[in-house]
Structure 1
Amino acid sequence: MKKIASGLLIFVLMVSFIPSVFSEKTAVKKEPIKTQIPSSVRNITKENTYPNSTQDLPFLQPSDLTKKLINSSKVKIENPDLIRMLNESSINGTPFAVGYRAIVYLGQWPLNYESLETSTNWEYQKINTNYFDNRGGNAPYQIKYVQEAQKIVRGGLTAKIPNAEDVKKMILLKAMQKTNLPLSFDTIIGAGTKNDHIYNIPSNRLGYLYAYAPAVNEKGKVTYGEVYLMLKGNRKFIVIKNVTSQGIGAWIPVQDYVSFGFLASERPR
């Protein structure tokens, strides 16, 4: 549907107006609020044996035309893919546009995501356990974190929803802005990853060092609508019809951070 709508839009503009391409610019980001990271959580970017690629979604700056079109809509438009489509074309005035009228259906789109609640679960998924039995020892035993096997941590939406990939992009962008954390729906902790922090297992105790992958939980609502580009003479504006909203949530892992929990016990766990 998106490809058909995009092709139809470009065709109409080529027939009626002079097309041009607007370059994409990086949008000015709002200053994020830094998330308070517990002392039990450590950054393992340098130690991670699996180099995760940075999830850097573009903050698209709408072109002047796209800004006018977005401002003409009564419903907020934040979908990066829809903004990109509008950025790729321009509508230039012409003296022959008097009396011209056209309606271009661009398809049904998720238009915006409103974040209602953002929280962080620092123990979202257990990824490793290091263990040592010091019940026969006469002195404390030092244990460190060593990832025994490669672990893939995946997040995702909490419910099935139309245009899921577009919705995930909008949720990810909003969560990254709010938390200032490196987020991705998929992250990997490589086997052999280590951390130098020492945990002491007392004599006559069993020691357990648990490692967890943290994740951000997003809750909010996504707004959908049918998008129409209206052309009347030299006027250009967007009309949104059949607007609906749907609640949605998502779990988004935090890249290259590990939360640790240490336990010394007299009995096996």
Structure 2
Amino acid sequence: MKKYSIILLGMVFMLAFLSPAAAEKKGDKPAPAPKQEAIYSIPDSVMNITKDNTYPNPAEDLPFLQPSELAKTLIETSKVKIENPDLIRLLNETSINSTPFAIGYRAIVYLGEWPLNYESTETSPNWQYQKINTNYYDNRGGNAPYQIHYVQEQQKAVKGGLTAKVKNAEDVQKMMMLKAAKKTGLPLALETIVGAGTKKDHIYNIQPNRLGYLYAYAPAINEKGKVTYGEVYLMLKGNKKMIVVKNVTSQGIGAWIPIQDHVTFGFVSSERPR
């Protein structure tokens, strides 16, 4: 639908305006998301494994797409807030020629139904979102403490995602990740992988006559809020241009978003097998 919208826009503007005036400038390249300090106190049991991970996770920083001058002007005419990066990109690819002979001209171009914005209502961490590894040693026959440390036994992929089915799920996920990353200052990704053989040197002591279990968990952010949808129209009336949004609806949505290259450790010592 997006491709057809772009083609339709081009045909309308070529037919409507005969004057070869200069097109509006496109926006600058997407600016990287500004890094912020985390608003949450990360527990001591959570460790960064970026340098230790045997699987190099690609950075998944989503850019804050800057609208062009034309796109910014169009967005400001909308009565509904527009934050969807893909819709902004479509508007950035649009150019409209101005001409003094457009008096009396009127056109309406349907750009499709879009998720327009996401409003966050709750952002909370789950430091033990998914167990990814267990290191174990039986020291019940030992006479001295036994030291163990974390070694990832198998490669583990931890995936996040939306908690319910919604239209344009990929666009919604992008907006939710942008809001959650801005609020937490944490490196978030829809998927993070911990490679086999990943290690941490921190030592845990298992006393004699006891068993020791070192559990490793992947942490994640639980993001909840509301996504707003609407049918988007580009209206041209004479030399005026504006965005009109119709049939606006809102839907509650949640998502789990893993914290990339971070592991939460939990050590348990017991006299009996668990």
The verdict on a shared fold, with TM-score over 0.5 as the criterion, is yes
Distance 2:267 2:83 in 1: 43
Task: List per-residue Cα deviations over 1:136-188 (Å, max 9, x = no partner).
Answer: 11111110000000001011000000000110111111111111111111110
1:111 aligns with 2:116: yes
Deviation at 1:27, TM superposition (A): 4.5
Correspondence for 2:162 among 132, 157, 160: 157
Correspondence for 1:209 among 211, 214, 229: 214
Report if the CA contact (8 A) 1:24-1:87 is conserved.
no
Counterpart position of 1:15:
15
Distance 1:219 1:119 in 2: 9
1:120 aligns with 2:143: no
Correspondence for 2:191 among 186, 211, 220: 186
Please report the RMSD computed on the Cα atoms of aligned residues, expressed in angstroms: 1.5
Runs of 4+ in 1 over 4 A off after TM superposition: 17-21, 27-31
- Give me the TM-score of the superposition, normalised by structure 1: 0.96
- Give me the TM-score of the superposition, normalised by structure 2: 0.94
1:255 aligns with 2:264: no
1:222 aligns with 2:232: no
Report if the CA contact (8 A) 1:214-1:254 is conserved.
yes
Report if the CA contact (8 A) 1:154-1:187 is conserved.
yes
Counterpart position of 1:134:
139
Q: What amino acid sits opposite 1:200 in the alignment?
A: N
Number of residue pairs matched by the alignment: 269
Distance 1:33 1:116 in 2: 20
Task: List per-residue Cα deviations over 1:240-269 (Å, max 9, x = no partner).
Answer: 000000000000001100000000000000
Report if the CA contact (8 A) 2:25-2:69 is conserved.
no
Report if the CA contact (8 A) 2:157-2:193 is conserved.
yes
Alignment gaps of 5+ in structure 1: none
Counterpart position of 1:197:
202
Distance 1:73 1:158, change over 3 A: same
Deviation at 1:23, TM superposition (A): 3.8
Partner SS for 1:197: coil
Q: What amino acid sits opposite 1:191 in the alignment?
A: A
Deviation at 1:30, TM superposition (A): 6.3
Partner SS for 2:96: coil
Q: What amino acid sits opposite 2:100 in the alignment?
A: P
Distance 1:14 1:55 in 2: 39
Deviation at 1:36, TM superposition (A): 1.7
Distance 2:195 2:33 in 1: 32
